[in-house]
Amino acid sequence: MVDTENVREAAHIDCRDDVCFTSPNYPLHYPNLAVENRLITAPDGIRILVTFTDFNVEVDDFLDLADNVYKQNSKRYTGEHKFPPFLTKGNELDMTFISLTSGTRRGFNVSASCYDQSRDANVARIVGGNSPGKGFLELRTQLGDWRRVCTDSFHERVAEVVCGELGYPAVKKVSNGTGDCISAGQDCTKAPVCNDYTFRSDDCSWSSGNCSSADAVKVECYEPGYKGCYHPEDLPQLSGAIFNTTSQCVSSCRTNTRKALAVINGKHCFCPIADEVNLPDIAPAADHSTCIQNTRIRNRRGTRQVINSLVYDVSVGFCDALDDVIHGSRDSNITWFGSIVRFTCDAGYSLNGCGALQCVPGLSPYYPVWNGSVPTCNMSGDSTSTSSTDSTLYTEGSVSATVMSRRDILEGVEKIGPDTLAIR
Whole-number pLDDT of residue 208 = 75
Fold of 9-114: Jelly Rolls (2.60.120)
Residue 227 contacts residue 243 (beta carbons within 8 Å): no
Whole-number pLDDT of residue 419 = 26
Whole-number pLDDT of residue 183 = 61
40-49, 182-191, 294-303: least confident range: 294-303
* pLDDT of residue 398 exceeding 80: no
- Residue 222: pLDDT band with limits 50, 70, 90: very high
- Residue 418: pLDDT band with limits 50, 70, 90: very low
Cα-atom radius of gyration of the chain, to the nearest Å? 24
* pLDDT of residue 422 exceeding 50: no
- Residue 299: pLDDT band with limits 50, 70, 90: low
* pLDDT of residue 410 exceeding 50: no
User: Going by C-beta distance under 8 Å and a sequence separation of 6 or more, which residues neighbour residue 142?
Assistant: none
Whole-number pLDDT of residue 36 = 94
Whole-number pLDDT of residue 296 = 53
- Residue 120: pLDDT band with limits 50, 70, 90: low
- Residue 125: count of CB within 10 angstroms of its CB: 21
Can you tell me the mean pLDDT for 171-176? 92
| CATH (residue range 119-221) | 3.10.250.10
Report percent pLDDT > 70 for the chain: 82
**Residue ranges, CATH 2.60.120.290, the chain:** 9-114
Can you tell me the mean pLDDT for 22-49? 93
* pLDDT of residue 385 exceeding 50: no
User: Going by C-beta distance under 8 Å and a sequence separation of 6 or more, which residues neighbour residue 26?
Assistant: 106, 107, 108, 109
What would the pLDDT profile of 62-94 be if each residue is shown by its tens digit?
999 998 877 778 899 999 988 999 999 889 999
Residue 112 contacts residue 47 (beta carbons within 8 Å): no
Whole-number pLDDT of residue 180 = 83
User: Going by C-beta distance under 8 Å and a sequence separation of 6 or more, which residues neighbour residue 346?
Assistant: 327, 328, 329, 377, 385
Can you tell me the mean pLDDT for 136-152? 89
Residue type, 249: C
Can you tell me the mean pLDDT for 122-144? 88
Whole-number pLDDT of residue 133 = 93
In the β-sheet with 48-56, what is the strand arrangement from edge to edge?
Answer: 19-22, 107-114, 48-56, 86-87
* pLDDT of residue 397 exceeding 90: no
- Residue 403: pLDDT band with limits 50, 70, 90: very low
* pLDDT of residue 329 exceeding 80: yes
Q: What is the average pLDDT score of the chain?
A: 82
Q: How far, in Å, CA of 47 to CA of 364, rounded?
A: 9
Can you tell me the mean pLDDT for 231-251? 89
**Residue ranges, CATH 3.10.250.10, the chain:** 119-221
Whole-number pLDDT of residue 68 = 84
What would the pLDDT profile of 305-327 be if each residue is shown by its tens digit?
567 899 999 999 999 999 999 99
